[in-house]
């Protein structure tokens, strides 16, 4: 019950903060919240080289925030469990409530606030009624790891070439990883340029899961 024991205890809590004390490692958690990915895939999606991304992943692994599996010569990473996803969601909520600089940083990345949104509950009810077309604009491997019921996989990179697949006269809702994922913003702007009524899901698949809504 001495001071050293107390410091040792709180040092365990601080390990998680230290592991997340890097913008790139937080981004890796954001990507891994979508599903398991290989090291080379993570390097590609985050735009850093293999050596650097491997070092960041090892820091997350030492804090037991991620786990791995090997398939032949390839190593795959995934979040260590639901508590890690909950920690990430709590981090987002705390940042939204505490950081006055966040809205400006978000606008600088996502663009102006000109994209209409739809909430989870409204989307769920409309999807059940069949009055909306839901498209998942994440990469195909993230869609395969889990997606909204009835959602069609049309990665953003393919969207311009697959406009004919979207039924005329039905509103389209695009979604991606979460509220700070640029893919759905770009998708809504592209579809509106082509005259299609489109909104984006206000958050993403991680928040959808957290709300105990069904995932396929």
- Return the number of other C-beta atoms located less than 10 Å from residue 209's C-beta: 16
**Total domains, the chain:** 2
pLDDT of residue 134: 95
What range does the domain containing 128 cover?
A: 104-210
Statement to judge: residues 149 and 53 lie in one domain = no
Q: What is the pTM of this model?
A: 0.90
DSSP class of residue 196 equals: -
Domain boundary among 63, 78, 98: 98
pLDDT of residue 113: 84
Q: Are 138 and 168 in contact (CB under 8 A)?
A: no
Domain boundary among 98, 120, 145: 98
DSSP per residue, 134-171: EEE-S-HHHHHH---TT-EE--HHHHGGGGGGSPTTSE
Which candidate in 176, 183, 186, 191 is catalytic?
176
Statement to judge: residues 48 and 73 lie in one domain = yes
pLDDT of residue 170: 87
pLDDT of residue 167: 87
Residue 7's region, left for phi above 0, alpha for psi from -120 to 50, else beta, is: alpha
Averaged over successive runs of 10 residues, the pLDDT of the chain (216 residues) comes to: 89 95 96 94 93 96 96 93 95 96 95 90 89 94 92 96 90 94 95 93 90 89
How many CA atoms, within 13 angstroms, populate the side-chain half-sphere of residue 40?
Answer: 3
In terms of Cβ atoms closer than 10 Å to its own Cβ (0-12, 13-18, 19+), residue 8 is: exposed
CATH code: domain of residue 10: 1.10.10.10
Does some domain include residue 47? yes
Q: Are 204 and 179 in contact (CB under 8 A)?
A: yes
pLDDT of residue 129: 87
Statement to judge: residues 110 and 206 lie in one domain = yes
Nearest residue to 34 via CA among 146, 197, 111, 172 = 146
pLDDT of residue 62: 96
- The CA distance from 65 to 46, in Å, is 18
The two three-digit tokens of residue 12, written as one number: 């365990």
Nearest residue to 208 via CA among 138, 126, 119, 140 = 119
Give yes or no: 176 in active site: yes
**Rg from Cα positions in the chain:** 19
Statement to judge: residues 112 and 189 lie in one domain = yes
pLDDT of residue 17: 94
Statement to judge: residues 128 and 88 lie in one domain = no
Statement to judge: residues 90 and 54 lie in one domain = yes
Q: Are 60 and 66 in contact (CB under 8 A)?
A: yes
């Amino acid at each position: 019950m001495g001071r050293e024991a107390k410091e040792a205890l709180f040092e365990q809590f601080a390990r998680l903060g230290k592991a997340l004390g890097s913008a790139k490692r937080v981004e890796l958690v954001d990507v891994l919240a979508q599903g398991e990915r290989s090291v080379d895939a993570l390097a590609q999606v985050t735009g850093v080289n293999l050596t650097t991304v491997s070092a960041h992943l090892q820091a997350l692994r030492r804090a037991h925030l991620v786990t791995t599996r090997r398939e032949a010569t390839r190593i795959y990473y995934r979040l260590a469990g639901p508590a890690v996803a909950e920690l990430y969601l709590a981090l987002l909520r705390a940042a939204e409530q505490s950081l006055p600089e966040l809205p400006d940083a978000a606008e600088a990345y996502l663009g102006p606030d000109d994209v209409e949104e739809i909430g989870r509950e409204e989307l769920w009810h409309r999807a059940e009624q069949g009055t909306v077309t839901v498209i998942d604009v994440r990469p195909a491997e993230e869609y395969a790891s889990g997606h909204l019921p009835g959602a069609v996989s049309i990665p953003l990179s393919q969207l311009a070439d697959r406009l004919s697949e979207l039924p005329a006269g039905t509103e389209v809702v695009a979604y991606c990883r979460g509220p700070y994922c640029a893919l759905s913003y770009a998708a809504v702007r592209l579809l509106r340029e082509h005259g299609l009524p489109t909104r984006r899901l206000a958050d993403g698949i991680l928040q959808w899961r957290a709300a105990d809504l069904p995932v396929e």
